[in-house]
Chain A
Amino acid sequence: YTSSLKYQGESHHSIYNWMDSLVTEYPNLVSKEHIGLTYENHAMYVLKFSTGGSSRPAIWIDAGIHAREWVSSATAVWTANKIATDYGHDSSLTSLLNKMDIYLMIVTNPDGYVYTHTSDRMWRKTRSVNPGSMCRGVDPNRNWDAGFGGPGASSNPCSDSYHGPYAHSEVEVKNVVNFIQSHGQFKSFISIHAYSQLLMYPYGYTCTNVPDQAELDSVGRSAVNALSSLYGTQYKVGNICRIIYQASGGSIDWSYDIGIKYSFAFELRDTGRYGFLLPASQIIPTASETWLALKHIMEHVRDNAY
């Protein structure tokens, strides 16, 4: 099924059709849940990988929250297929899915994603209308209720890091917040971005260490060692505030502060040569190496119940 997808640059319709075909092929493992509508009334879907049970502890992975980061959603498509095909064959993944559920949101900002196809390949934000401004959109990763409105986010609607009028003003963010809160059993929250080759943990809104700093750092470093083992790709590990910049209103700060300890953010390839325009030849290598890191984090979550 994934051979029918070029992975990158597919329309969101193609991705949604592909998701349906994955569900059809693996009906005992994969289902699709509708978690709400976007500003422009596109459906927001999350793939659920589950072998049964009820209220199992779960892992959340989102991709494509920033529209121009196409490699993020492409990696998520590959990853979804990997999980589906490896279940029952890879003992570690199989034991994980026998205990926990994985939720994977491939296109977290469909409005923005569509806009990168129709109008502006470099669009980042949502497409909500900002009253009184010519400029549309809010940075969905400055809109979470974690140090909202603090340093590292702009109050200018025209800015690519505009935090929005208030926390969770963006329906896309609110839908995820509602879903996570009503589910109540998430133990890990992982957000996938591009570019810079970083694996980060909270906080972004302050440079103060989180209480679980040592453990998150250790898990991160081992995850990156696994990633690098495939092609030698170099990643940096640390908290957002020190590794990249102070940034308020970020999703993994929110998730950590509501008690989801294993909160991580990836910035995938590369380090600026292609930037947001990563070539097709690098998609599968990127997804393959990232999978090793994701797997390591998920195994740690599986083995360290709380």
Chain B
Amino acid sequence: AHTVLYITGLQFVLKLTPHTPAASPSVPGQEDIQAAMPVEELDPSHYPATRAAKVAEHFINTRYGSPFAWFGSSGVKKAGLEDMGVLGTKYHIEFTLKEMTRNQDMGLCSAEVLFHRADERKPPQVQCTCSGAFQVNTSAEEEDLYQRLRNATSLLSGSDIPNSVGHIDPEMAPFWHLGGVASSFIMLRESNESTLLNMAHIDNFTQMETKDAQLMFQYDILLHDMVSQEILKWKLLLSWSPDGGVKVLEAEWDPKCQAIPTSSILY
């Protein structure tokens, strides 16, 4: 993917072009290197495996998430660590996946999560395959929501999702899921071996005018990093349509009056 970065004062703006799937590393002789490196077995309940599974979870959401499909890992079954030398560290994990909006078990997934060396400042690379009937059938609900928004006379907005006591209005739930899926794009890019990121709160979202088929939304969200315990404020511009899926067009971190978490330094 191509990224352009502007730095103005304390604000970092990340412009993302349409998402392309993570490619396998194409270093010559890579296959040989992979075959030669031993995989050290990891305790699946310890944090290195948990953090790698969270990254895989974010990856799955960027590929398959929608206002009606939001995925979460429900437990790591097996984990291994492969030292890739100059390339970084690769985790091999098997974990169970859940579609969270319906609390539906999606079966077992198998992923490789490559964290590059810290000095390279590259996002992790993920390959993932899931067994069973992976794709959830949400086309009817998606089309229904899409048409309702296209035909509405005013632009939609919402705030404080979930509220302080975890309540979400049923009409707002798809926009909660949409925010979660869009946040996964950012959380995937921001992840390393020392982070465990979740979307903590949607401060507000606003539908934007568009001329093309995609619906567009501006979201103000809070992410939580379990490792540093920091709350990270992000502004996202995202698009969605049933055909186009979820895409993050622009993302901006708002540091405000907070410590700069080591896990979240942009370049």
Contact = CB atoms under 8 A, between A and B. Distances in A.
Contact of B259 (A124, A159, A273, A280): A159
A234 interface: yes
A277 B228 contact: no
B226 A196 contact: yes
B78 to A, nearest CB: 15
Contacts of A124: 229
B166 interface: yes
B200 A237 contact: no
Contact of B165 (A8, A159, A271, A275): A8
B201 A121 contact: yes
A229 interface: no
Given A122-B222, A196-B226, A279 B162 contact: yes
Nearest to B70: A273
Interface stretch (A26-34, A91-99, A238-246, A288-296): A238-246
B interface residue count range (under 10 / 10 to 19 / 20 to 34 / 35 or more): 35 or more
Given A277-B165, A277-B201, A279-B167, A243 B229 contact: no
Nearest to A276: B200
- Summarize A's interface: helix, strand, loop or mixed: loop
A135 interface: yes
B165 A9 contact: yes
B83 to A, nearest CB: 19
Nearest to A154: B259
- Summarize B's interface: helix, strand, loop or mixed: loop
A82 to B, nearest CB: 21
A174 interface: no
Interface string B212-240: 00000000001010111111000000000
Contacts of A88: none
A156 interface: yes
Interface string A168-192: 0000000000000000000000000
A154 B257 CA distance: 16
Nearest to A152: B227
A227 interface: no
A159 B50 CA distance: 24
Contact of A242 (B47, B163, B229): B47
A158 B167 contact: no
B24 interface: no
Nearest to A197: B75
Interface in B80-121: 100
Contacts of B168: 279
Interface string A269-285: 00111111111101000
Nearest to A273: B100
A234 B201 contact: no
Contacts of A139: 229
B241 interface: no
A277 B200 CA distance: 8
Nearest to B256: A158
A227 to B, nearest CB: 15
Given A244-B226, A275-B224, A236 B45 contact: yes
Contacts of B231: 122, 160
- Closest CB pairs A-B (n = 3): A279-B166, A272-B198, A159-B259
19 contacts: A9-B164, A122-B224, A135-B257, A135-B259, A139-B229, A159-B258, A236-B50, A238-B46, A243-B45, A244-B47, A245-B47, A245-B227, A271-B72, A272-B72, A273-B100, A274-B166, A276-B200, A279-B166, A280-B166
Interface of B: 43, 45-47, 50, 54, 70, 72, 74-75, 100, 162-168, 180, 198-201, 222, 224, 226-231, 257-259, 261
Interface of A: 6, 8-9, 70, 116, 121-122, 124, 134-135, 139, 154, 156, 158-162, 196, 234, 236-238, 242-245, 271-280, 282
